[in-house]
Amino acid sequence: MSKNLINWLENLLLWGIIIKLKAMTSFTEENYLKIIYMLTEQNGGNEVSTNELAEITQTKAASVSDMLRKLAEKNLINYRKYQGVTLTKEGQQIALSVIRKHRLWEVFLVDKLGFGWDEIHDIAEQLEHIDSKELTEKLDKFLGSPQFDPHGDPIPDSKGKMPSMASCKLSEVPIDQTVVMVGVLVHSPAFLQHLDKNHITLGSTIKIQEVSEFDKSFTVLLNNNQSVFVSNEVAKNLLVK
Amino acid sequence: MSKNLINWLENLLLWGIIIKLKAMTSFTEENYLKIIYMLTEQNGGNEVSTNELAEITQTKAASVSDMLRKLAEKNLINYRKYQGVTLTKEGQQIALSVIRKHRLWEVFLVDKLGFGWDEIHDIAEQLEHIDSKELTEKLDKFLGSPQFDPHGDPIPDSKGKMPSMASCKLSEVPIDQTVVMVGVLVHSPAFLQHLDKNHITLGSTIKIQEVSEFDKSFTVLLNNNQSVFVSNEVAKNLLVK
DNA sequence: ACTATTTTTTAGGTTTGTCTAAAAATTTGA
DNA sequence: TCAAATTTTTAGACAAACCTAAAAAATAGT
Ligand SMILES: [Mn+2]
Ligand SMILES: [Mn+2]
Ligand SMILES: [Mn+2]
Ligand SMILES: [Mn+2]
């Protein structure tokens, strides 16, 4: 009985079939892991709830429950029923590799192909699942091993280490100070196009000239000497240094 | 009854749901269309059989039958039971777009990232399914609108038109003639690495010095003045001009 | 503390793309 | 030409990833 099982396993090993148990995270599973990673960050390391995941994956809570059971079976997440989830070491590794690929491809699309930063998300959403370590590393070299993507988001290195950079929201900067734009907290085309229209881009120098008492909107001076108006809603989503 | 149906369809249209009937060719469907295109070419325009498809897709004939029924329903293939299939205009368009993407990505991998021509097929097999017209056209520009891929295969333009080039097999070239290597008929890493080892690459000048009576093997002189031995098996799979 | 509400899970189904086994059609060849 | 071999299709199942409806657990409000 048990001897039979061992024989059978040996046979599988011989034929290299055991690999399947190791490899194999589907497109869908990768997306869940990536989203769990990002929501955990946002929650300051706290568990992510089923409903949060359902909302962001555009599916129903029931479907999320199914997937969580499956990911837990594969030891990619820590899952206690009704208590939400966090990633295991292994799950985190996969999530970081997907994020690395996503952001490297975004750099490629903007720097090499000339896309605007508002046009690249959906394409990168597909490219992030291309499975080839050699490709990722060669792409990284080709792009000059960038540390940040076109939105200012950090690109993890091949071991999963994130470059860090102190930054704060423009909305928190006091009057008269001069800062540099280093990132955005919202990636919607509408928001990015709004920034384009106001000539605010990654690397722009921003001097805060005036802050309205009434609505906390800003008037700022850019490096091109243009003075532009920035609503508080926008200022809250701009990262500066 | 029929009025009810029309009402229902109008409702769908109103909500933009009808789009789904038009768009949507899955990864798997795209692969079938591409393979049908290539096998039809190979067969000189004749129908492709279920078993041929089963062989090359690494599935069972029963699964192929299922898929053919489905592709026929979508008007992507001409299918008469037991008689094999050919592509419709629409199916051919999709096939050519997949082939275009495959070959453009191969150029990218070799020219820009420095991969060898024997390492790129599996990666291109994934990249060919990335869905973005703008991406394909920008990639094409970035690469300088190449006409041929790293294996010498023609790259269809955005309308599906293949560049043509007269060529013949090295095995058919008479003694003493000098030709240029322009393509391979086999893409296996083993074959490509064999050519690398013998310094035969796309663009190599080849002068036929000697043809053996016995086994039809060749001794040829390359542009680097090296004299190398080429078996008939290899000569039959080398395209020259 | 104990309902009422919200969140999450379970139960039962669907679709896509695969499989094996068996039936049907076609082709081969004596 | 017609029986045997081959090819192709049909029938019936399964896993993955989704759904709706209903049940169960957790949380909140008085
Ligand atoms: Mn994705
Ligand atoms: Mn980004
Ligand atoms: Mn493919
Ligand atoms: Mn090729």
The predicted-structure confidence for B16-33, as pLDDT tens digits, reads as follows 444 434 458 999 999 999
Q: Note if the pTM is more than 0.85.
A: yes
Look at residue A228 and tell me whether its pLDDT is greater than 60: yes
Task: Tell me which chain A residues have a C-beta less than 8 angstroms from the C-beta of B134.
Answer: 115, 119
SS3 for B210? strand
Which chain A residues are closer than 8 Å to B135 by Cβ?
109, 113, 123
Cβ-based contacts of A104 with chain B (< 8 Å): none
Interface residues of chain B, partner chain A, Cβ below 8 Å: 109, 112-115, 119, 122-123, 126-127, 130-132, 134-135, 138-139, 142
Per the CB < 8 A criterion, the answer to whether A167 and A180 are in contact is no
Residues of chain B contacting A122 with CB distance shorter than 8 Å: 132
Q: How close is the nearest chain B Cα to the Cα of A138, in Å?
A: 6
Q: What whole-number distance in Å separates Cα of residue B234 and Cα of residue B241? A: 16
In sequence order, what are the beta bridge partners of B229? B219
Q: How far from chain centre, in Å, is Cα B166?
A: 18
Is residue A167 within 8 Å of A183, Cβ to Cβ?
Answer: yes
Q: How far is the CA of B70 from the C1' of C20 (A)?
A: 21
Question: Searching chain B, which residue's CA lies closest to the CA of residue A122?
Answer: B132
Spell out the CATH class of A168-240.
mainly beta
As a rounded value in angstroms, the CA-to-C1' distance for A230 and D28 is 40
Give the pairing type, strands A77-79 and B168-169. Answer: unpaired
- Ligand 2: distance of its center to the CA of A121 in Å? 7
CA B207 → C1' C29, Å?
A: 48
Q: What is the mean pLDDT of residues B162-185?
A: 96
The pLDDT of B46-67, averaged and rounded, is 98
Mean pLDDT of all residues in B157-180: 96
Range in A23-32, B35-44, B84-93, B121-130 the model is least confident about: A23-32
What are the sequence ranges of the domains in chain B? 2-87, 168-240
DSSP β-ladder status, B178-184 and B205-211:
antiparallel
Q: Report CB contact under 8 Å: A122, B132.
A: yes
What pLDDT is recorded for position B63?
A: 98
Q: Are A85 and A43 in contact (CB under 8 A)?
A: no
Whether B134 and A115 lie within 8 Å, measured CB to CB: yes
The answer, yes or no, to whether residue A24 has pLDDT greater than 70, is yes
Q: Which of A126, A134, A142 sits opposite B130 (nearest CB)?
A: A126
Question: Which strand (E) or helix (H) includes residue B194?
Answer: helix B189-197
Mean pLDDT of A166-195: 97
Q: In terms of residues, how long is chain A?
A: 241
Contact A184, A167 (CB under 8 A): no
- Compute the average pLDDT of residues A19-23: 45
Nucleic strand D within 7 A of Cβ A67: yes
Instruction: Please tell me the distance in Å from B22's CA to the nearest CA on chain A.
Output: 20
The alpha-carbon gap from A120 to the nearest alpha carbon of chain B, in Å, equals 9
CATH of region A2-87 = 1.10.10.10
Q: What is the pLDDT of residue A2?
A: 37
Name the residue among B112, B123, B135 with its Cβ closest to that of A123. Answer: B135
From the CA of A132 to the C1' of D10: give the distance in Å.
40
Instruction: Name the nucleotide nearest A67; use CA and C1'.
Output: D17
